[in-house]
Amino acid sequence: MIERYTRPRMGKLWSEESRFRYMLQVEVFALKALTERGVVPQGVADEVEREATINVARIAEIEAVTRHDVIAFVTSVTENLSEKAQQWTHWGLTSSDVLDTALGMQMRDAADLLLAGVDGLLDVIEHRAREAKDMVCVGRSHGIHGEPISFGLKFASWYSEMERARVRLARVRDRVAVGAVSGAMGSFAHLAPDVEADICRMAGLLAEPISTQVIPRDRHADFLQTIALIGAGLERIAVEVRHLQRTEVLEAEEGFVKGQKGSSAMPHKRNPIGSENISGLARILRGNALAGLENVALWHERDISHSSVERVVLPDSCILLDYMLARMAHILGNLGLFPDQMQKNLDLTGGLVYSQRVLLALSEAGAPRDEAYQWVQRNAMEAWQERGSFKKRLQKDPEISHWLPQVVLDKCFEPDYYLRHVDEIYRRVFGRV
Q: What is the DSSP string of 242-284?
A: HHHTSTTT-SEE----TT--S-SS-TT----HHHHHHHHHHHH
- What is the rounded CA–CA span in Å between residue 249 and residue 268? 17
C-alpha pair distances (Å), 342 with each of 21, 45, 62, 261, 275: 54, 67, 65, 26, 20
Please, what is the angle between helix 69-78 and helix 95-131, to 10°? 100
* Catalytic annotation, pick one of 68, 187, 190, 263: 263
Burial label for 217, CB within 10 Å (0-12, 13-18, 19+), is: buried
* Catalytic annotation, pick one of 141, 142, 268, 421: 142
C-alpha pair distances (Å), 85 with each of 28, 66, 77, 82: 11, 20, 10, 5
- What is the rounded CA–CA span in Å between residue 244 and residue 221? 35
* 205 in Cβ contact with 107 (< 8 Å): no
Burial label for 17, CB within 10 Å (0-12, 13-18, 19+), is: exposed
* Cα end-to-end span (Å), the chain: 41
- What is the rounded CA–CA span in Å between residue 152 and residue 255? 18
- What is the rounded CA–CA span in Å between residue 104 and residue 222? 13
- What is the rounded CA–CA span in Å between residue 329 and residue 121? 5
C-alpha pair distances (Å), 358 with each of 141, 346, 380, 397: 19, 17, 11, 13
Q: Helix (H) and strand (E) counts for the chain?
A: 19, 6
- What is the rounded CA–CA span in Å between residue 223 and residue 217? 10
* 231 in Cβ contact with 286 (< 8 Å): yes
- The β-bridge partners of 144 are 141
Active site residue 211: no
Active site residue 142: yes
- What is the rounded CA–CA span in Å between residue 270 and residue 239? 16
CB proximity list for 249: less than 8 A, separation 6 or greater: 243, 341, 345
C-alpha pair distances (Å), 416 with each of 212, 381, 412: 62, 25, 10
Positions marked catalytic = 142, 263
